[in-house]
Amino acid sequence: MSVLLISSMAMGDSTAVDTLKSVNPGKKLKRGEKLTYSIEYAGINAGYSFMRVDSELTWAGGRRAYHIVNETWSNPTFSFFYRVHDRIESFVDYDKMYSLRYQKKIREGKYRHEESVEFDQENKKAVYSTGQIIDLIPEAKDILISLFWARLFPLEVGQSIYIDNHTDKKNYPLEVKVYRRETLNTIFGKVECLVVEPVLRTPGLFESKGRLWVWLTDDERKIPVLMKSKILIGSINAVLKEYNPGITEK
């Protein structure tokens, strides 16, 4: 049920778009940035979720690292029917901006799942907590850092960027399509946004089999103010309710 792992199994149209390989844009993450969302179904709050970059750097794999956290939980009313508490963490190399460690703890109804992955970037191996070792593409990123990474680029309508991604034992280029501009009512007032679609290939939030759309503010911050995913009946939205900008590093 994590905000970042909405499944987008449908690949959509095959219409050609301009592409941009996601080379390092030379920017840093905003330490201390925190985004808090209301998870809503049919306009009714079902729970909350936050994404946060810790203010202080940590260490992972012997390297300085960002620590990114995404936590999602159901409210008391929704929990009576279906309790959710998910926590996903990503440790990202401060200098190289690739994944060093990824771990998740999923609690959804009766379903339980825990997993951690060590990204051995030097030897190009992903080492899973199960003992399984998977070949890794160079400078691979997990799904959590990928959303933050995409925000660092100058996005244009009609363009796609591709992010070298490793998720659930699979390597693939995560495509982020930029479709159009829309004006949206947000916590910042009326704001012009870019509507983008990350084309994911693994199941995630609410086990949706449909597509995911994200509304990013059309400015340098590219704040995800709304995320929407179609499900069998209706859609589920993550609506930004609070925002802490953190510190921009030069």
185 within domain boundaries: yes
Note the pLDDT of residue 250: 65
Note the pLDDT of residue 235: 82
The domain that contains 170 carries what CATH number? 2.40.360
Note the pLDDT of residue 21: 58
90 within domain boundaries: yes
Task: Give the residue-averaged pLDDT of 108-131.
Answer: 96
Would you say residue 206 has pLDDT above 50?
A: no
- The amino acid occupying position 168 is D
Q: Which residue has the higher pLDDT, 188 or 15?
A: 188
Burial letters 5-37, b for 16+ CB under 10 A, else e: bbbbeeeeeeeeeeebebeeeeebbbbebbbeb
174 within domain boundaries: yes
Note the pLDDT of residue 231: 73
Residue 16: pLDDT band by 50, 70, 90 thresholds?
Answer: very low
Q: Give the predicted TM-score (pTM) of the model.
A: 0.88
Instruction: State how far the Cα of 119 lies from the Cα of 82, in Å rounded to an integer.
Output: 33
Would you say residue 208 has pLDDT above 80?
A: no
Q: What is the tally of structural domains in the chain?
A: 1
Residue 56: pLDDT band by 50, 70, 90 thresholds?
Answer: very high
193 within domain boundaries: yes
Note the pLDDT of residue 10: 27
Helices (H), the chain: 76-81, 143-150
> What are the φ/ψ torsions at residue 237 (nearest 5 degrees)?
-115, 145
Taking the CA atoms of 156, 11, 147 and 136 in sequence, report the sign of the dihedral they define.
negative
Task: Give the residue-averaged pLDDT of 141-155.
Answer: 94
Task: Give the residue-averaged pLDDT of 197-221.
Answer: 76
Least confident segment among 1-10, 47-56, 70-79, 152-161: 1-10
249 within domain boundaries: no
Structural domain span for residue 103: 3-244
Note the pLDDT of residue 41: 87
Q: Which residue has the higher pLDDT, 66 or 234?
A: 66
